[in-house]
Structure formats: structure tokens, C-alpha cells
A and B are shown apart, each in its own frame.
Chain A
């Protein structure tokens, strides 16, 4: 059996590495995607183009504006003089945020009345709008607090020292500078491996069927299980290689910390690859042509990635969809990846994810192998 398996493996490796286009598929797309993702995928906001319409021209209004000017999140680029210009600026997309301070702002403040500040946010990108609104509120609260204190100071200086105050001390763990890249890069290791291994496995079998060489192999003494092993082992190894490659590039190039144990990461990767080989084989049993295999893979890949928590938190999905996410092996692998990269946790925390991937992997492979036997007969 080993001798036959060896021959089969040799043939598979030759087939994969012989074609320079296939060699490119193994290396090119993963690295290009890694780089593009690492640079492009960000939900951070900096220097949001901002317009300020100051109709009050008071010391107070200038003080408020200077807080925006000095903030790293906003970039005051325009100072229009009337309200119509504000509308134009936002319509054209020149600014995302516009601040309008009405006449009487300082007067209201001095009288101890509430002074409204109008903020217009272009919510075409609802996420930028949400985060920007948060920062605007923080700046406004900071201003209000400062102003309030100043006033009390003037009324009775000793009072300020005994006035109670409560503050939130925020401690963002694992990713103290809140970098999107730290969130995305470990995830890319998982999603790219998924795409690569599923498509390659599905293609490898279907191509033989489409070209007609599958029959030729079947008339040799090779047994189905040897054939399956011969078809999956190379992609298992290629998958492991790609995990290492993408993980290394991500860590070295993007400087994402790796705080856990490599062994835990690889254990997760091995279990995850089992699931992906199972999916790839399953797709190959239901596809007669490469085009069908590609299309079916696409149908699997899109939801499996979207519903894994790769780019969008699972908490925000409708409840019924959240249950569906338990079926995506990537969901578990992402927890392992981010757990080992950022949190530095080990098996004592990650065992539920490992168990889930093992169960899914064994289940998928069993079904795939059973169906595969049938498809060969």
C-alpha cells in the first residue's frame, strides 16, 4: 500500500509544481491578498476631512474649534461662511463631518444655558460616521467639562477641589493602540488557507474526471483510499506551508505580535485543514467539470468567510444567522488564530474550538470519503 501511495503522491506533486501557472496560484494570490488586506482593511479613522461653520466668532467657539483642529481624528480643511456651502461640501464628498456653531453660542454658555452645536455627518459609510460621532462627542464632553470647571473655579475656587468626579479608565487589552491591522492579519491566515485548500482539492480530482484520466487511474491496482490519500495529502502539506508562509509574512511585515505557542497554532491549523480537505473532496464529488467545482467552491467560500467573524463581528448578525456561524470551521480557527497571536492563550482556553474543528473535520471527511467511494464506482 505504501509503495502505491508513494507513486500517487509523486504524481500529484509533479502535477502541481509542473505548471508554472499553478505554481503561481500557490504563492502569488496569497501574498498579494495578504498585503492588500493588511493595508486596505481598516476601520480606524484619522484625519477625517471636516468643515467648520462658526457663526458666533467668540472666544468660546474658537476654543471648541481648536479642540477639533488639534485632534488627530479630524482635519479641519474648510471654514465656510454660510450654511449653503456646508451642504455643498458634504454633497460633493469634500468633507465627511461639518460642525456648525450658531450665533449666541457663547452667550448661552455664559448664562449657564444649554448651547447647541450642530454636527452633520456624511453617513454613506455608516461605520466611519459611527466612530466619528463617538470622537465628536468625546471632544464636546471634554470641552463641556473644562468649561464647567472653569466656571465653578471663578465662582468659588475652593469648591472645585472637593467636587466629586467619576472617570472611565479604559484599558484596551491585547491591542492597546486599537490597530485594525492586528485584527485583520491573523484572520487572513485563516481565510486565505480556506480559499486555497478548498479550491485546489476540489480542482485536483475534478480535473482528472474532466480530462478522463480518472478512469485510467481506476484501472490501476490503486485502492480508493490510497487515491483519496494521494489526492489530499499534498494539499494538506501545501496548506501547512501556506499557513506558515502567510503567518510569517504577516508577523514580520506587519509587525503583528505573536504571543502564544506555535504548537497550538499549528494544532489548530491541522484540524482546520482536515475540515477544508473534507469540504474540497465533497465539492469534487458533486462536480463533473472544473467550472462547476469552481462555482460550487465559491458558493461555499463566500458564506464561510462572511459568517466566520473574519471582518464583521458575529454579535451583530441576526440570531438565526449566529446559529449558522457554528457550521463554519473558519469561525473556530479564527478564535485560535487571534487567541494565539494577540491574546497569547493556550489549549486550556482554546479546547472548545479545537474539539469543534475536530468534530467537523471528522464528520466532513467521513461523508466525503463515503460519497467519494460511490462516485468512483
Chain B
């Protein structure tokens, strides 16, 4: 391999990137946009959810209970309904996520010491929102119920002044349960998939489609030099993007960074080689920009998005799918990212992720090299 020729191919590639303003924009701006997009847009911190209330009792007690809903950060009473018929409609058209119905004999039953049920109609289209809503509503009602009981007992000379059990929850690694801290580190994997596989598969498929690849091959440049020359610029760009994204995560979104920066760079470099090899391999096989870009997205972006633990917990997937995630490099890289950012796991304890990642790196790099040789021969 000659360094001069390799550099020549690389400088040609850099020229091409620089000349095409939009490619330049994508490699520079896209990472920033993706981080901002997910940092702001993807949040599961539910607050101020619109609810309707229908108080059929209209007593002091029922108002007390409703005030507790009002006082909670999680609910916002947007409408006080006058008839039951308003409630299904509000859920149907999405004006309310939940409707609380207080029965007409609420205060009577409380006075007589009979159990009362308060109804919560929940729009469960979005199961996650519904789940969280029900949890918060339960907490409000239970709080009210236990206060009523404590008062009642006290009136009858019983102590039991406190709720007997107190749960002290400590959330580790992401103390404030910030969605951005959980999501933003994983965005690095998405960015690299886009730069590495999507963009390279396009640029290389373009050479095939236009016939300039044959021209390149007819020069004294060897296949290996072509491959490295084409990929090195994207490797450098990808690594720069990693640093930019990490900086935005830490400085803008205040995501903690507790691990080693060197390990971050090292593992990112491995993942970069993985996606570059995949992108190259796909473009050699597809030789058509539309197909190459679609397959590249399918092979890198989709797994990085769905099957890496970036958003959806792998342990909660069906067992077969969990098995599939084991052969996806993105899974190991995202795991390393989360551990470095949030957990601060020492590098020595990351071997369970780093070793598979290294194996993938080697195998895919070899595969890409061989496929290119073959196609040219």
C-alpha cells in the first residue's frame, strides 16, 4: 500500500465533500441537529396532563379531593364537566387524557363509613402515558384516603397518626430522572450510523452508478488504497462529530460525564470502523444509491435506534429479539456510552461490551476489504 496514492484518493474525497455544500452541511450540522432533536423532543417526563373532572357530589369532601388533583404537578384540570356525556367525547377527541368521576354519594358514603370508589377514565391509546397517569392518580387518591382514615381514627381516640410504610426511593446514575440524560448519550450511535453507513454508502454507490469507480480502478491505485482513501475522511469527520456531540450533551443538556474520555474515543473509533465497513460493504453490493441508502439505514440506523437499548429496554423485548441484539454492534456501543456517561464504570469493567465490539470491528473490516477485491476481480 502506498501512502501517497492513499492520500491522493483521500484528498479527492475531501474535495468532493467540500464542493458539495449539502454534504458538508450534513456532516457538520446533522450531528448537532440530531442531538438537539432528541434532547428536546424525546422526553417522557409527563407533567400538566389535561384532565376533566365530573363532580356529581359537589360536597366539601369531593372538592377537597379534586383540589389535590389540581395541586399536583402532573395534572391540569382543563374543564369541569356538567354531564357524563362530555367525558367520552373529551377522551375521544383527545382534549383530556383522563376524566375523574366522583360519585353522587361520595360524602354520604364517607360519613357512613362505607367504601367509595372514585372513577378514573383514562385514554390508554398511549400505554406509557396512561400507566404513569394511573400511578399519579392512585397516589393522589391513596393520599386522600389515608388522611381521611387517620382523621377518622384520631376522632375515635386511636393513634395511628402516620402511614406505616415509607418508601424512600433513590434513583442512581440519573438522579433527577431526566429523559435527556438517558437519551442523549445514545444519540452518538445514531450520528455515527448516519455519517458512517448512510453517507458513505451513498458516496460510493454514486461512483458505481456514474461509472467513475471503473476509472478509479483503472489507475494504478490498489483496491485497498481506494477503500482506505475513501473511508479515512469519513472516519475523521465521524470522530469529530462524536466529540461535538459529547460536548453538546455535557455543556448544553448537562448530561453527566463520569467515565473515561479516552475509552469514549477508543470505543467510538471501533464503532466507526464497524459502520464504515458496513456502509462500504453495502454500497459494493447494491451499486445503486436508492437501494444502498435504504439498506444502510436498515442495517445500521434501525438497529441503533430500536435494538440497541438506546430508547427501549432490551430486557423487555421478546427473547428471540434479545438474542438478535447480541449480534448487533450498536448494542455494545450504546451500552458503553451509557456506562461512560451515566455510570462512570471503570474501563476494566467494560470488557463485556468492548470485547464483542472489537470482534465485530475486525470481522466487518475484513469482510468489507474482501468484498471489494472480489467485485473488482
Contact = CB atoms under 8 A, between A and B. Distances in A.
B216 interface: no
B49 A166 contact: no
B291 A303 contact: no
A313 interface: yes
Nearest to A135: B135
Nearest to A23: B291
A83 to B, nearest CB: 12
B152 interface: yes
A59 interface: no
A178 B199 CA distance: 39
Interface string A107-121: 001001111111111
A221 interface: no
Contacts of A123: 171-175, 177, 182
Contacts of B131: 43-44, 131, 134, 178
A182 B290 contact: no
Given A116-B168, A291-B20, A307-B41, A125 B182 contact: yes
B249 to A, nearest CB: 14
Contacts of B92: 339, 343, 345, 349
Given A119-B170, A126-B178, A169-B120, A316 B138 contact: no
A197 interface: no
Given A43-B312, A173-B123, A138 B162 contact: no
A174 B119 contact: no
B21 to A, nearest CB: 9
How large, as a class, is the contact surface on chain B?
35 or more
B286 A317 contact: no
Given A40-B307, A43-B312, A178-B124, A164 B148 contact: yes
Given A119-B170, A123-B173, A32 B124 contact: no
A161 B116 CA distance: 13
A69 interface: no
B306 A166 contact: no
B153 interface: yes
Interface residues of A, number: 117
Given A152-B158, A312-B41, A22 B290 contact: yes
Interface string B152-186: 11001011111111111111111101110110000
A144 interface: yes
B268 interface: no
A331 to B, nearest CB: 11
B30 interface: yes
A318 B40 contact: yes
Contact of B125 (A19, A143, A342): A342
A126 to B, nearest CB: 4
Interface stretch (A268-276, A292-300, A364-372): A292-300
Interface in A153-179: 155, 159, 161-176, 178-179
B168 A315 contact: no
Interface stretch (B2-10, B229-237, B316-324): B316-324
Interface string A18-44: 010110110011001100110111111
A55 interface: no
Contacts of A163: 113, 149, 152-153
A180 interface: yes
A169 B117 contact: yes
Max chain A CB contacts within 10 Å: which of B20, B130, B349? B130
B127 A183 contact: yes
B30 A164 contact: no
B220 interface: no
Nearest to B87: A173
Contacts of B177: 123, 126, 129-130
Nearest to A175: B124
Interface stretch (B31-39, B271-279, B365-373): B31-39
Contact of B44 (A165, A303, A306, A316): A316
Given A144-B163, A291-B202, A342-B125, A167 B116 contact: yes
14 contacts: A28-B298, A32-B298, A36-B307, A40-B321, A42-B317, A91-B343, A96-B315, A112-B160, A114-B166, A118-B168, A130-B177, A135-B135, A152-B158, A313-B44
Given A133-B169, A338-B125, 4 more contacts: A92-B349, A119-B170, A137-B135, A199-B290
Interface of B: 20, 22-23, 25-26, 30, 33-34, 37-38, 40-50, 65, 89, 91-94, 97, 109-132, 134-139, 141-142, 144-145, 148-149, 152-153, 156, 158-175, 177-179, 181-182, 194, 198-199, 202-203, 206, 286, 288-291, 293-294, 297-298, 302, 306-307, 309, 311-313, 315-318, 321, 338, 342-343, 345, 349
**What are the 5 A-B residue pairs with the smallest beta carbon separation, nearest first?**
A134-B135, A172-B124, A162-B113, A21-B291, A123-B174
